[in-house]
Structure 1
Amino acid sequence: MNPTKFIGREEELATFNELLKKKTSTLMVIKGRRRIGKTSLIEKFAEGKPFLRFVGLAPVDGVTAQSQRDEFARLLAEQTDLPQIETDDWSQLFALLGQFVKQGRHIILFDEITWMAERDPTFLSKLKNAWELYYKQNPQLILVLCSSISAWVEEHILSSTGYFGRIAKKITLKELPLRCCNDLLDAVGFKRSVHEKFMMLSLTGGVPWYIELIEPKRSAFENINELCFNEDGILVDEHRYIFHDLFGKRSAVYEKITEYLANGAAEYSAIADGISYASSGTLTSYLSELIESGYVRQTMSWSIKTGKPTKTACYRLADNYLRFYYKYIQPKLDLIKNGQYKNIAIGSLPGMNSMLGFQFEALVINNADLLHQILHLRPEEITISSPYYQTATKQRQGCQIDYLIQTRLNTLFVCEIKFSSSPLTTKVIQEVEEKIKRMATPKNFTCVPILIHVNGVSDEVLDADYFYRIVDFADLLTTK
């Protein structure tokens, strides 16, 4: 991996820096999916300041509650002048830490707190007591609780009566915006064409750790081969770490859901049928955890007439790596592991253009605020925006809009997000015209077609002057 400078996260760093101005202690939570840069962000903030980091052990076979306590004790002794003690009680460890951070500026990180607490039901209550007795008493102390399992944090800390009124700040870390992805690609030395940058981001999404794996001297295809189809490729086994490390014994259901959604967006009932799982509160809980963790996105259909959401929800895979894994790595995993799938022709993989279409949509939708900015739409002007699904009835046809923006002044920006390996032809105009024709558009509403593309448009498309705005992927990479 290439050593790189820290890119992006300006808002989050500003939030942290505001905490330094407080005259009271701070207990805060930072959550977000695996590899998203939570630890790097906190380490960046803590540069030049007294900093203690405690990391939970991944819940693999053999790791017990005592293993977690022993690891905490080891890290405490390693980072301070305190002795390494043996104890079966978290209260003693928290009290010992409390002695060390009694006075002066201290930033403490409990990294992967979910793992620390998993096998000891008393952990969180004892931590709460330690906060009240020791850490809270130091007005210059900041304690950060960090986890990759966002739903666990939501249930056991943010929504817990024990921690009610104690959490002063919450940050949910999401994928880097495309402009920061572009800056990070430049920082690692990958200064290739917009198309090659798109190919890399179609695999990595805005996950900084994945982007930092890119070798600048190699082409996009060479990098994808090395990372995904070499027997020692870093991303060959990443799927296993995502599910087994994060979700443990329940990982099989999460895998089924995400694998099903790799083929396209689906409603709740379709997911239940597709994975042969009873439609129940348990399935709802699984979906909620995937949404909280950033792997799945939920979008609500809405009534254009009222501008209000309906009860129909649609779920889509939000993670580009997982879609690529299910489509191309998983089916050939044995061959890859045996070194028999090296140096394949990436462009000739079956269904590649279709898959890249999904990836392009995900990149654009994850960066919808940049699109709004390019279209000069302020947040207060927008009533609602999302991928839009219109179900078929006896009175109307069904249709699907890649991304629809409804404004307060009754304008509907119909966004077509189109990947093509060659410049788009006037066929795209016909497709958008048909979608708009099918839409049940109320009176006094105007549809404005927008095209977002990655590999250019033909002169015929430009000459037709049909689209209000044609947005190049390069625009999304460079919009600040």
Structure 2
Amino acid sequence: MKEIIGRIEEKKILEQTLKSNEAQLLAVYGRRRVGKTYLIRESYRKHIIFEFSGVHNATLKDQLSNFRNTLAELMRLPIPPAIPSGWTEAFQMLKNYAEPLLNANKGIIFLDEFPWLSSAKSGFLPAFEFFWNSWGTKQNNLIFVICGSAASWMIQKVVNNKGGLHNRITKKIRLLPFTLAETAEYLKYNHVNLDHYQIVQLYMALGGIPQYLKEILPGQSAAQNIDRICFTKDGALQNEFNNLYQSLFAEADKHIAIVRALSAKHAGLTRKEIIKTCGLSTGGTASLLLEELTESGFISAYLPFEKNSRDSIYKLSDEYSRFYLKFIDSNRASGAGTWLKLSAAPAWRSWSGTAFESVCLKHTKEIKAALGIAGVYTEESVWRYVPGNDQPGAQIDLLFDRQDFCISICEMKFSNSTFTIDKAYATELQRKQDVFRNKTKTSKTIFMVMISTFGTTDNSYKTSLIQNDIKVEALFK
């Protein structure tokens, strides 16, 4: 069996299902390319008795034909049976095939891209509900895995199903992209030896998506790899953006409009601001679009300090989407060497700062550990104050409101050397802290935290303002 990098908690869940003496219905979901299929195949390789994947936008007849052919091949039938008339008959064929195998041993049935099988008027979901409730639940040796990249569909139609599958899911896994530590481990496994600074650059452009990271070649710098993957004629990710969204969402143009709007606003947008910017209706449409993008991992909702969920600020959290919209989508230049030029321009230096902040927001667990507050109850928040005509504003992209009556305000800076706080930036930091205290009326102790690639230069400004100095290596632990 190939090695499975990371996925510690997910592997525990899969091992638990194997040890169960009852039928298991496992739902696995997460955005495309994140490694769902690989995880299931490699974890259950010895036990899979049937594996089938839906095809995007295929007709019902084609899906049923593919299903029939897969079964016929497994059963080594010289002449395939007739194509089933519908999914009820198809599942009866699966039952007849699987039942003798399950009588003797533990067996896994794996349906991949489950949402693609449930096309309009296909009758797939009702047929599956009947199949599972009438037969599957009685098979103590059966683990049935349903997997899908359309995460919101999986949540609504399967996990939170109000019909025949209500409360039938025994285990669920939402598979997220690799962390920085997992990314480093994965690259090392593929004989790619890069330091933390280089890996962070890759992460800011590609994210922790295993399928993207598979394209990284040994012996090339982060810039060389990004150049080849994203800007050359045959680069794997040059045209990934539209394919990615079109394969996941029926009305992908609306989802892309939201992603574009958030890409242009680093500080994020509220629901009302998104509706206004994208020209959406104020009813359930906007809520559904935001839920689908959130569940699929493209955007994230952040709770403002001392506010409730209605005031959530949405930010673009998919690294590749942010990178594509900034440097690939509107860039006329392409071909080898394009990124090597772009990455030396001022636009990259400005963009890298916001991209690094997004990476830090995904590693708050590691930041808390570096601060020594891993065991302290904290609430993570963002905060912003929009000023009047004569008042200064302020924005905080990450703060920890701690149970020990302290608040840690985090500043995140990406640079190619140690970061130096000069007089102007020191004034900005002090003003931000003063505005925050004044507007929130907090009486808690405020600690300023600097998170940077190589640490912060010791000088009088750092000594007077910064209580905690965290280097990027802490995010890899």
Would the TM-score normalized by the shorter structure come out above 0.5?
yes
Contact 2:455–2:470 under 8 Å retained in 1:
no
Which position in structure 2 is the counterpart of 1:435?
432
Letter in 1 for 2:117: M
Equivalent residue pairs, number: 464
Letter in 2 for 1:49: H
- In 1, Cα distance between equivalents of 2:331 and 2:182: 33
- In 1, Cα distance between equivalents of 2:157 and 2:457: 54
Given the alignment of the two structures, is residue 197 of structure 1 paired with residue 199 of structure 2, yes or no?
A: yes
- In 2, Cα distance between equivalents of 1:135 and 1:81: 24
RMSD: 2.3
- In 2, Cα distance between equivalents of 1:441 and 1:272: 28
Given the alignment of the two structures, is residue 29 of structure 1 paired with residue 27 of structure 2, yes or no?
A: yes
Which position in structure 1 is the counterpart of 2:284?
281
Q: Check 1:174–1:163 CA distance in 2 against 1; reply closer, same or farther (3 A cut).
A: same
Which position in structure 1 is the counterpart of 2:361?
365
Percent identity of the aligned residues?
26
1:161-189 deviations in whole A, cap 9, x for unaligned? Answer: 22112111111111212211111122222
Contact 2:430–2:465 under 8 Å retained in 1:
no
Which position in structure 2 is the counterpart of 1:169?
171
1:371-404 deviations in whole A, cap 9, x for unaligned? Answer: 112222235521x113323344799754211210
Contact 1:425–1:461 under 8 Å retained in 2:
no
Letter in 1 for 2:136: Y
Question: Following TM superposition, by how much is the alpha carbon of 1:27 offset from its aligned partner in structure 2, in angstroms?
Answer: 0.8
Which position in structure 2 is the counterpart of 1:466?
465
Contact 1:221–1:346 under 8 Å retained in 2:
no
Which position in structure 1 is the counterpart of 2:295?
292
Q: Check 1:463–1:132 CA distance in 2 against 1; reply closer, same or farther (3 A cut).
A: closer
> What secondary structure sits across from 1:69 in the alignment?
helix
Q: Check 1:49–1:402 CA distance in 2 against 1; reply closer, same or farther (3 A cut).
A: same
- In 2, Cα distance between equivalents of 1:296 and 1:352: 22
> What secondary structure sits across from 2:182 in the alignment?
helix
> What secondary structure sits across from 2:305 in the alignment?
strand
The gaps in structure 2 that reach 5 residues or longer are: none
Q: 1:65-464 maps to which residues of 2 (within 5 A)?
A: 65-81=60-76, 83-102=80-99, 103=102, 104-161=105-162, 162-248=164-250, 250-263=251-264, 264=266, 265-303=268-306, 309=308, 311-332=310-331, 335-336=333-334, 339=335, 342=338, 344-349=340-345, 351-378=347-374, 381-382=377-378, 384-392=379-387, 398-427=393-422, 428-439=425-436, 440-460=439-459, 464=463
Q: Check 1:394–1:345 CA distance in 2 against 1; reply closer, same or farther (3 A cut).
A: closer
- In 1, Cα distance between equivalents of 2:460 and 2:236: 41
- In 1, Cα distance between equivalents of 2:308 and 2:387: 17
1:2-24 deviations in whole A, cap 9, x for unaligned? Answer: x9842100110111101112111
Contact 2:33–2:209 under 8 Å retained in 1:
yes
Which position in structure 2 is the counterpart of 1:55?
53
Q: Check 1:169–1:394 CA distance in 2 against 1; reply closer, same or farther (3 A cut).
A: farther
Letter in 1 for 2:214: E
Contact 1:294–1:319 under 8 Å retained in 2:
yes
Q: Check 1:342–1:467 CA distance in 2 against 1; reply closer, same or farther (3 A cut).
A: closer
Q: Check 1:216–1:181 CA distance in 2 against 1; reply closer, same or farther (3 A cut).
A: same
- In 2, Cα distance between equivalents of 1:330 and 1:183: 31
The gaps in structure 1 that reach 5 residues or longer are: none
- In 2, Cα distance between equivalents of 1:317 and 1:341: 28
- Scaled by the length of structure 2, the TM-score of the pair is 0.91
Contact 1:295–1:317 under 8 Å retained in 2:
yes
- Scaled by the length of structure 1, the TM-score of the pair is 0.91
Letter in 2 for 1:178: L
1:40-93 deviations in whole A, cap 9, x for unaligned? Answer: 11112103223421101012xxx2111111112222223334644312211111
Contact 2:406–2:445 under 8 Å retained in 1:
yes
* Range with bigger deviation, 234-243 or 388-397: 388-397
Question: Following TM superposition, by how much is the alpha carbon of 1:201 offset from its aligned partner in structure 2, in angstroms?
Answer: 1.0
Q: Check 1:117–1:353 CA distance in 2 against 1; reply closer, same or farther (3 A cut).
A: same
Contact 2:367–2:474 under 8 Å retained in 1:
no
Q: Check 1:461–1:52 CA distance in 2 against 1; reply closer, same or farther (3 A cut).
A: farther
- In 2, Cα distance between equivalents of 1:185 and 1:149: 27
Question: Following TM superposition, by how much is the alpha carbon of 1:423 offset from its aligned partner in structure 2, in angstroms?
Answer: 2.6
- In 2, Cα distance between equivalents of 1:20 and 1:170: 14
Contact 1:113–1:145 under 8 Å retained in 2:
yes
Question: Following TM superposition, by how much is the alpha carbon of 1:316 offset from its aligned partner in structure 2, in angstroms?
Answer: 0.4
> What secondary structure sits across from 1:139 in the alignment?
coil
- In 2, Cα distance between equivalents of 1:367 and 1:84: 52
Letter in 2 for 1:175: P
Letter in 1 for 2:131: A
